[in-house]
Every structure is written in C-alpha cells, then in structure tokens.
Structure 1
C-alpha cells in the first residue's frame, strides 16, 4: 500500500510540474506579446485567460492531493477546504467557458465575408476582454454555494452522507437535494452546446476550404495550409480533447455519487481526468505556435554557436 502511495505521489508531482511549466510558458508568451504589443492577435486574451485558469486549477487541485499522498498528513481546516474546492470549481468553469469562447471566436474568424458576418467579425474582437472578465465573475457567482457543502477531513458531521476526496469532503446528498448538480449540468450543457455548434461549423468550413484548395491547386502536390486553417485545426483538436476528458470525468463523478463507499482508486482516476486537459492543452498549442518554435530554434542556434571546451 505504501509503494502504491509513493507511485501516486510521484505521478501527481509530475502532473503539477509538467502542467505548471506548459501553462506558465504559454501564459508568459501571450502576456508578453500583449504587454509589449508584439504580434498581438484578438484571440490572445482568451489564451491568457485559459492558461491562467489552468494554473489555478492545477495548483489548487494537484498540490493538496500531492501533499496528502506524499506526507500522509491531514493539514487542511474547514475554511481552507472550502476555499480550495471553490477555486477548483471556479477554475474548471472558467476553463470550460474559455474553451467555448475560443471555439466560437475562431468560427466567427473563418466565417464567410458576406455583410452579416463581416459586421460580426468587426465587432467580435472588441468584446473579447470584457467576455474574459465576465467568465470569471460568472463562475465565481455560479459556484458560490459550493463551500457550504464542503468540510475538512477532521469534521465528522454527517460523515455517512459525505464523499471523502482525500483531503476534503463534499456532502453530495445536500448538493443533490438542493438541485445544484442539475443546474450545474445545465450550465455546462449550454457551453458544450455552443462548443459543438461552432466546432461543427468550423469542420464544415474546413471541408469547403479543402475542396476549393484542391480545385485551385490541382497541379500542386502539397499546397501550404493558411494560418487560419492551421489555427482552426488546432482549436478543433482542443475541443475534441476537452469533450473527451470532460465526458470521462463526468462518468466517474456519477459513479462516485451513486456508490455508497467511494474507493480511493476512483478518486485518483477522477482527479487525473479532471486535470489532464489543463496539462495537455498547452503542449498542443506549443507544437503549433510558430513564434515559440522560432524562439526554440534561436536558443538552439545560440547554444550551438558557443561550443563547450
């Protein structure tokens, strides 16, 4: 049992390090561009907001769980548990909203240039920053009642109705009877619906664009894709990843809710699927971000130009 805890401890620490590094690198990259005015794109504030929410989620979800596994010590009070669980849920909600906003904005960007879409394209960038701020305010309000149903591990009140998360407990019975889960599910479904519609529209535009390219470049063996097309494919990949991991984590949440005695294995699997999107998504973007790749090539050339003696 001790060896299993040691393995889980190492895995959680690796998740935290990799996740914070990837999101921190991109957060610095996009924030640096916004501050210095270099290569600013309307979509950059969405990325900054997305990676900031990922860092908050990784730190407030991964660090307490890693400490509990590695040190095997109860270290949180009721108040600290309430704050941590609240910020976890807020960051997860902001991640969902920003991923949806990313999908919708990209769908508008690659839309046709008729009069209606042209007006929307011109207005959309003006509302990005207010939308990012609104995402945080909205999720702070949506999950404001969650801390009322969270207690620390040392509080045994209504322990038979609680599901232990290792370092904190959530009263699922109270959440269910208050219809909080139903409203939260409906809330998530609205954003997932917008995500699905915009993603479907982007796929349709890409197919049309592919047909046009094949017609115009029938003599070209491998025509170069436009930056908009590459960006759309990457965002679609992020949408698919988010939906897959969200669906898997939702399944384990249902299993936890229905089971009388939740095993630690299910809890760790749930934590893994809840965190994996925030860990993987920045590296998907790093692999496609030409400016970051150019920076890496420059550092590599500088290193090679100064050989060690």
Structure 2
C-alpha cells in the first residue's frame, strides 16, 4: 500500500468528518467539539484518505464507548517542522494500564480476559497504528479506568501553496438517476450501519439492511437488489463468503456487490475480486465517492452477470 501525496485542506477534512459523526453522537446526547490550532496550515500535502480513516476510527470508538459527556478533537502543530498532532478525547469508560500495552496490537482486544459492558476496543486500532507509522508518526493513549481516554497520533505533512478549490459537487441533478435503485447495506456494526445509512439517504436512496452475511443471503433470496454494499468482516458469515454464496445463486438477478473495508490493501482488493465482488469502498465512506460509484453502476445497460 502506497501513500498519496496530494494537496488537501485539514479544516475541510475535519468538517466533513464532523458532519458524519455528529448525528450519531447527538443520538446519545453527546457533544462533539473540534479545535484546530491557528499554526496548522490551511493547505497541506499528504494522504487525506488515510488521515480520514484514522480520525474516523478513533471517533467511532469514542462515540461507541462514551455514554455521557462529550468528545473533542484537536489538531495542533508540533515543534518538529511538518509534524501535526491530532488528539481525540472522550469522557467514556477509560482503559486500564495493562490493556494499553496491547491496545494497538493486531487482532487483540483491550479487555478480552474480563469483558466489560461495552464489548472491548475495536480491532481497527491496529490499523490506525499501522497507518500512522506509514505517515511518519506514532499513536498513543492517555487513560485511566472510569476517566475517559485521549488518543493522540502524529503524522508528517508538507505545506502547499493556496489552492483554487472547486466547489463541492451537488447531487441534486443526479438523484433521479438513482431513485430506482434497490440497495442492500450489509454491516454488523450498528454505528457504522447508521452512518452509512444516513449517507445513502442523503443521496436519495432508502436501503434495506442486514446485520451479517447470513441475513444478507435471506434478504437476497426474498428480494431483488441492484447493488449490495457488503462489509468484509462480520460475525456468523463474512462478506467474502456471503458474496460467494450469492454468486452461486444462479436463479436470481445478480446484483453488483461493492465491498466496504477499512483496509484498502492490494490483497483485500484481490480477495474481493476473487470472491466475485465488483468494486470496493474504503471506510469511512466518502459521500462523493459513494455517489459516483452508484451512478456508475446505475448506468450499466445490462443486468450484472458475474
């Protein structure tokens, strides 16, 4: 996996993420606050896609494991030229010191031996740690049980000259082209499912939903879908296995299947293709990218045959 090196506006990036995460936070009566140090340049060069993935993963965990209070995110410049620090703070359940030692280890949970009421820490922290290292930084946490947690990470970037930013595309003129689409969203995580559902609704589609691959097979057997957005990692049956079963259903109208993955690695793309998927979207889902892919497949002139 190679990093991009393109211009982006960190304030705009953060504003877009807040638009996504504030609604589910409000559903739990949580405030989400943001602050960007004036010393952080308006225009940076780096990999905004990976940066968005890291912040989204940390915000998602903060909302999930905070039952009251607030969540805050801060971007600030450091004494090292080009090194930016981000901090995501919550008033949640906190993390014990022993658990912090393995928090960023792949496929480990912070409290596996003694489950707490909210199910441990998401496995995507290992991915966050990997991405921060790729971006020339590191990730760490300050926390005490019952006193919330603050996740910090740093990343290298370069200041770019001011960009002539084109206005964001609007979806108004094209929503009619998508109104007929029958879409199934398959995602086991309630927060991720809620966020994705809101994004899909914003572009004029009301999706059906399934919590895992097994439920998806039931839905596909009972309904006809044009497009399926399929999470890769789910309990009971993962997205790749579900896709293989769907492709084996020769008697049904075959939908386009787009994978939802937090790890946009080459091997993931190859696994998706081998299972019979048509495309993939990286989490967190970007509204404009989703819209473009839906338009592309909606314009397909023939029913899909794998």
Report TM bin, short chain. under 0.3
TM-score by length of 1: 0.24
TM-score by length of 2: 0.24
Between 1 and 2, higher relative CO (CA 8 Å, sep ≥ 6) is seen in 1
Bigger fraction of residues in helix: 1
Bigger Cα Rg? 1
